[in-house]
Homo-oligomer: A and B are copies of this chain.
Amino acid sequence: MKTSLLALAAFSLAAPALATTPMPRTLDQQADMALKSDALAWDFVEGITTEVGPRQAGTEAEKRGREWAMRWLTRHGFANVADEPFPMQTWVPGEAKAEIVSPFPQPLEVLALGDTASTGPEGVTAEVVFFRTVDELRAAPAGSLKGKIAYISHSMTQTQDGSQYGFAGPARWVGAGIAASKGAVATVIKSVGTDSDRTPHTGGTDFPQGVAPTPAGALSMPDARNLERMFARADGKPVTMKLTLTPRSLGTTMSGNVVGEIVGRDPSLPPVLVACHIDSWWNGTGAIDDGAGCGIVAAAAKHVSLTGQPLRTIRVLMAGAEETGLWGSKAYSAAHIDEPIAVGLESDFGADRIWRFESNFRDGNRALHDRIAKSVARFGVADSAIVATGGADIDIARDQKTGIIDLQQDGTRYFDLHHTANDTLDMIDPVQLRQNVAVWTQVVGILANEAGTIKP
């Protein structure tokens, strides 16, 4: 709270200075200023988490989030602010309870996974079968889980590049589907996370074609470890769980993509697309996922505009319904596929510092790649030969095979918080958030003033 007030105070002091400075700052100066005193990104994420809070895709809360974001963009001078609607299949979580019935009765903290089925309010009570890995589950004989609850563990540690998500993620992404195909009445997983808090990590899960969704939930890390200790101490006695999850489908509802523009001097040039997503899971307030990302891209666009009108339009896309199936990204690409963009960038990995720059035009436009890499070196950002593939919300950049830049954020803490109730403003470090805005300002400013083709 204190930090927030200080940050706002810093911005209030800076704002009149901007209004009275006769010459606009250079891009470098503006980025340096953002590093020291940006308060726009913080104001966005503080505002949306406080005034809206959770924004589950397809619900009225997400709609309030979009309306809030449009007001914010309008207030900060963005043009062509709009909510582009699309239909989606909407799922809401309901109640979630788990308890061990025997041999060691006690409650466990659980949350439903996205798009899973309900146990009904009466719950299901069944023996739990312990799988240390998804591969162990895959090896279980057909039909062997009939009438059972599958429990799937995994091992995940913190990594700066978030790469452990690829190893641990399948427990959530495909575990329930595999267990269901072998007859399980329900699945619980160890949360895909790296923390030790009683805050389960939700997220989406996929059931294979022809396999009806079952109830499935994630136990918090301490509860998962407790359950595993119970197996170690049960002396072979069955471990029985009562699981009550009451999610439901709302069928087709409307979501939308919020867009807004810093209009460029030459509207005939393809714009720079900077993206994030406006929805969040229901359990946190959507601060690091992805209020911060929206704050970062919007603040960067605004900072660039303060250096003078850019050559190209900068288009902000705050996609709807990312978490439950990338609905917004797909809808945006479908609607705008015939309007070429020059380059796409997305911020959706928390609010910690950017440590590496990647593009997909290093081979084809080395001069521009190197110029950008050099420009952000002073913020501690490393260059990389990795070919950028872009985030979830810029399907259009992949569909158009156009330029993509990835500004990689430090993900060490990200999976402590990802998809948990602890995804709140309190977890954002304002100093690292400002570094993001500075780097983004620098990169977007170069791109928006680049006359030549970005990815030839």
User: Could you tell me which A residues sit within 8 Å of B by CB distance?
Assistant: 1, 4, 46-47, 49-54, 61, 64, 103-107, 109, 196-199, 221-222, 225-226, 228-230, 233, 284-285, 420-422, 424-427
Minimal Cβ-Cβ distance residue in B for A199: B198
User: Within the assembled complex, what's the spacing in Å between the Cα atoms of A46 and B228?
Assistant: 12
A61: which B residues are within 8 A, CB to CB?
105-106
Task: Assess whether B53 is in contact with A106, with CB atoms less than 8 Å apart.
Answer: yes
Q: Please, which residues of chain B bring their CB within 8 A of the CB of A54?
A: 106-107
A422 contacts across to B, CB distance below 8 A? 196-198, 222
Within 8 Å CB of A199, what residues of B?
197-199
A352 to chain B, nearest CB (A): 15
Which B residues touch A103, using CB under 8 A? 51
Expressed in whole angstroms, the Cα–Cα distance for A199 and B426 within the complex equals 13
Question: How many protomers of this protein does the assembly include?
Answer: 2
A228 touches B104 (CB 8 A): no
Contacts of A225 in B (CB 8 A): 1, 425-426
25 contacts between A and B (CB under 8 A): A1-B228, A4-B229, A49-B226, A50-B104, A50-B226, A50-B229, A50-B230, A50-B233, A51-B103, A51-B104, A51-B230, A51-B233, A52-B104, A53-B104, A53-B105, A53-B226, A54-B106, A54-B107, A64-B105, A196-B422, A196-B424, A196-B426, A197-B197, A198-B424, A222-B422
Residues of B within 8 A of A52 (CB): 104, 106
Closest to A234 in B: B51
User: Which of B49, B105, B109 is in CB contact (< 8 Å) with A421?
Assistant: B109
Closest 6 pairs (CB-CB, A-B): A53-B106, A198-B421, A196-B426, A222-B424, A50-B229, A222-B426
Tell me whether A425 and B222 are in contact (CB under 8 A). Answer: yes
Give min CB distance, A105 to chain B, whole Å. 8
Complex Cα distance, B229 from A46, in Å, reads 9
Contact B50 A427 (CB under 8 A): no
Instruction: Give complex CA distance A4, B427 in Å.
Output: 29
Taken together as a complex, chains A and B put the C-alpha atoms of A4 and B229 apart, in Å, by 10
User: A97 → chain B, closest Cβ, in Å?
Assistant: 11
Distance in angstroms from A85 CB to nearest chain B CB is 22
Q: Is the CB of B198 within 8 A of A106?
A: no
In the complex, chain B residues whose CB is within 8 Å of the CB of A4: 229
Closest chain B CB from A66 CB (angstroms): 15
Q: Which residues of B contact A106 (CB under 8 A)?
A: 52-54, 61, 285
CA distance A427 to B426 in the complex (A): 20
CA distance A109 to B47 in the complex (A): 19
Known contacts A196-B426, A421-B198, A226 near B104 by CB under 8 Å:
no
